[in-house]
Amino acid sequence: MSILVTGGAGFIGTNFIRSWVENSREPVINLDKLTYAGNAANLRDLGADRYGLIEGDIGDFQLVLEALKKHRPRAVVNFAAESHVDRSIDSPHEFIQTNVLGTFHLLEAVRAYLGETTGQGRGDFRFLHVSTDEVYGSLAPFEAAFTENTPYAPNSPYSASKAASDHFVRAYHHTYDLPVLTTNCSNNYGPFQYPEKLIPLMILNGLNYQPLPVYGDGRQIRDWLHVLDHARALRLVLEKGQIGQTYNIGGRAEKPNLEVVKAICALLDELAPNPQKGPRSALITHVTDRLGHDRRYAVDPSRISRELGFEPGHDFASGLRDTVKWYLANQEWVLAIKSK
């Protein structure tokens, strides 16, 4: 038996595959387009008997169908997505192409594959679609956190494209009886994250004493989830989740962006001191806020906790410290990403 992961060379996909290989004997086939944020080197150390890479697009129906027929996986885990909000504001087309049309073609390939699969192979099959809390929109400071029943209200081209993909997954379950599972996670952090996102950008800029740009007043609140906790939660959903249902995955760690940036500055001053240049917090620069910037995200993970027994294993302070240490110890990876 094996599983097929799409978008596995990206940040969350990389950590999921590495976690899977550590915790399961089942091989992983990774289908990845290897765009700017996909890095095949993240997984190059995994043995060929446990891991294989297919370079390709989830929007290529024939390629996906051939991969399914060849490897006959018991599950598809779909990470493939354009995910950076700023890029979606500047150029929404790619987000529609990958997140909406790509998911549609992937679902069609899975539907065709299952149409030719009978018996236990079909009965055991699962399609796990990995999505985001941003589909729910924005919360006021004292509103209750998002639940699985919160109405969708996406506010950016990125979140709208992910909302559309979620709806297609739901529709294919109800219309075609596809055995789907959906997860909506909060902001992830940890190793291998592409340095356009907040935490790695601040670590690398701060390390090199470059400006630390903070949108607006920096009081936007996010719920932070360590990526390895996310990977563990996804394994639980795949193993024990109820077909057709959605599970919100959160870290129980709501933090204002400015507080996160200041914590990174303090860690860099401790772990990579440079007394001549002074504290990194002096590098913080408030810049014009992002268009349509959501004020607060917060996820209520009660369902996955109650039904599947998941709780985050990382508290934010220690998880952030480990993340800063990882970037400091992996400068060759950083340089390779920057050169790419």
CATH number at residue 33: 3.40.50.720
- Output the pLDDT for position 282: 98
Residue 239 annotated in active site? no
By DSSP bridging, strand 221-226 and strand 254-256 are antiparallel
- Is residue 146, in this structure, part of any structural domain at all? yes
- 276 in any annotated domain: no
The reported pLDDT for the residue numbered 99 is 97
Asked whether residue 164 is assigned to any structural domain, the reply reads yes
DSSP characters over 98-111: IIIIIHHHHHHHHH
For residue 90, tell me if it sits in a domain: yes
How many structural domains does the chain have? 1
Q: What angle do CA 125, 131, 137 make, to 5 degrees?
A: 145
Ranges in the chain, pLDDT < 70: none
Answer yes or no: is 61 within a domain. Answer: yes
Given 32, 57, 133, 223, the catalytic residue? 133
Instruction: Specify if 114 maps to a domain.
Output: yes
Give the residue among 252, 265, 197, 261 at the shortest CA–CA distance from 226: 252
Give helix 198-207 / helix 316-329 axis angle, nearest 10°: 50
pLDDT value of position 318? 98
Does 158 qualify as catalytic in the annotation? yes
Q: In this predicted model, what pLDDT tens digit does every residue of 275-310 receive, in sequence order?
A: 999 999 999 999 999 999 999 999 999 999 999 999
And the tokens for 204?
Answer: 């690398």
Helix (H, G, I), strand (E, B) or coil at 218: coil
Question: Which residue in 51, 113, 136, 158 is the catalytic one?
Answer: 158
Q: Which domain holds residue 187?
A: 3-194+225-253+297-315
- pTM to 2 decimal places: 0.97
178 falls within a domain = yes
Alpha-carbon gap, residue 36 to 203, rounded angstroms: 20
Per DSSP, which regions of the chain are E strands? 3-6, 28-32, 51-55, 75-78, 126-132, 180-185, 187-189, 212-215, 221-226, 246-249, 254-256, 284-287
C-alpha dist (Å) from residue 265 to 163, 185, 205, 225, 281: 35, 26, 10, 20, 6
How many helices (H) does the chain have, and how many strands (E)?
13, 12
The pLDDT of residue 131: 98
- At 123 the pLDDT is 87
Tokens representing residue 193 in the block: 């994250």
* Confidence (pLDDT) at 120: 77
pLDDT attached to residue 49: 94
Assess whether 133 carries a catalytic annotation: yes
- Among the options 32, 57, 82, 134, which is catalytic? 134
Determine the pLDDT at residue 121: 78
Q: What is the pLDDT of residue 226?
A: 98
218 within a domain of the structure (yes/no): no
